Amino acid sequence: MNIDGKHFRTIWVDDDEWTVGIIDQTKLPHVFETRALKCVGDAAYAIKEMLVRGAPLIGATAAYGICLALRENASDKNLEAACQLLMATRPTAVNLRWALDEMMHCVRSLPREKRVIAAYARAGEICDEDVETCRMIGVHGLGLIEKIARAKKGKAVNILTHCNAGWLATVDWGTATSPIYQAHAAGLPVHVWVDETRPRNQGAALTAFELGHEGVPHTIIADNAGGHLMQRGEVDLVLTGTDRTAASGDVANKIGTYLKALAAADNELPFYVALPHTTIDWSLMDGFEIPIEERGSEEVTQMSGRTAEGEVITIDIAAPGSPAANPAFDVTPARLVTGLITERGVCAASLDGLLGLYPERGE
Ligand code: MRU
């Protein structure tokens, strides 16, 4: 990702070779601020309070959380406790469980004195693999955009996206945004409709921030505007990410994704979901078994923003005393998903489709 011409990943190890650096996403888009994670508690806090967020980045942060825990105490007991602490931070993104399993597998059989070095090495690999995986998602997704661009004969391809499935949600590139960045770099005319994504506004605050820094033409819209734009022929493709995809192809993603899929189906528009293999939950054949995070009602009843004087404040927007519900994700059934874009290619949203790309899972 580029911030004012400087390349950043969303997570890194500092020059001291153990402190973990992150971008505090709760401060964006108003302030670009980095934070140092120095213990497993810092990593758990960063995930739970959404300083870092997005399924792949949650997994990468958890991996480094294990490194930080082992650095303090490399015992089995501490390893188990760190896993439990990190696992309890957020329930929906399956990359968290995947990364913790990877880290456990890497260090458990090692003697204590070898665990820290091995853990940092594996966490680093998880990050590097995520970057390459997301780059390849872009390569495969680019083909879809090219096809639409050819049919539109040079007119801009209008892509609607929801939430932030961009470089801020991964280590770099993003999932849904990777094909967009690669299309833009290849000189294809693209324009992105960015759902603001209430209640936390990941679209307006984060996706728009990213696209702006990469110079990709985009327009922020209220979440409710998508259906209208589709009816008017102003959307060519809906492209989102996912926090967990069941082996059946059912997709859990940020609340509101399902409504976009319904509107896309009614308007006969392609609805694609981009994901790395780390987001597939092979243990679930039914997306409705995916645990859906319930978040605090204040995210619905309040909003934060910057005043004309530059101060970032939080204000109440709802009738005082009214209760609010805040389910953070929804499940889009596979039948509404045109296809899944993975690092291995594009497939049908179904068990057969996924097994076609990941045959080792059927053995
Ligand atoms: O609650 P968040 O911000 O962590 O949720 C992230 C999303 O739902 C993203 O849209 C996403 O596509 C999954 S991460 C690539």
For residues 173 and 303, state if they share a domain.
yes
For residues 333 and 206, state if they share a domain.
yes
Asked if residue 206 lies in contact with residue 166, where contact means CB atoms within 8 angstroms, the answer is: yes
The predicted-structure confidence for 84-131, as pLDDT tens digits, reads as follows 999 999 999 999 999 999 999 999 999 999 999 999 999 999 999 999
Last residue of a domain, one of 102, 129, 156: 129
Q: For the domain that residue 268 is a member of, what is the CATH number?
A: 3.40.50.10470
In the prediction, which pLDDT does 1 show?
A: 83
For residue 53, the CA-to-ligand 1 centroid distance in Å is 7
Q: Is residue 134 part of a domain?
A: no
Asked if residue 279 has its Cβ within 6 Å of ligand 1, the reply is no
Q: Is residue 247 part of a domain?
A: yes
Q: pTM of the prediction?
A: 0.97
For residues 208 and 240, state if they share a domain.
yes
Answer whether residue 355 shows pLDDT above 90.
yes
Q: What is the DSSP string of 86-126?
A: HHTS-SS-THHHHHHHHHHHHHTTS-HHHHHHHHHHHHHHH
- Domain residues for the domain of 82 are 2-129
Query: Residues 153, 273, 164, 14: what is their CA dihedral angle, to the nearest 10 degrees?
Result: -110
Q: Please name every residue paired with 254 in a beta bridge, in sequence order, or none if there are none.
A: 329
Mutate which of 23, 51, 53 for ligand 1? The one with the most ligand atoms within 8 Å of its CB, which is 53
For residues 192 and 147, state if they share a domain.
yes
The predicted-structure confidence for 19-32, as pLDDT tens digits, reads as follows 999 999 999 999 99
For residues 146 and 291, state if they share a domain.
yes
In the prediction, which pLDDT does 327 show?
A: 98
Provide mean pLDDT across the span 132-147: 98
pLDDT > 90: what percent of the chain? 98
The predicted-structure confidence for 273-318, as pLDDT tens digits, reads as follows 999 999 999 999 999 999 999 999 999 999 999 999 999 999 999 9
For residue 363, the CA-to-ligand 1 centroid distance in Å is 31
Q: Is residue 108 part of a domain?
A: yes
Q: What is the DSSP string of 270-286?
A: -EEEE--GGGEETT-S-
Split at pLDDT 50, 70, 90, the class of 363 is confident
Per-chain mean pLDDT for the chain? 97
Cα separation, 272 vs 332, whole angstroms: 11
Asked if residue 286 lies in contact with residue 250, where contact means CB atoms within 8 angstroms, the answer is: yes
Split at pLDDT 50, 70, 90, the class of 2 is confident
Asked if residue 90 has its Cβ within 6 Å of ligand 1, the reply is no
In the prediction, which pLDDT does 70 show?
A: 98
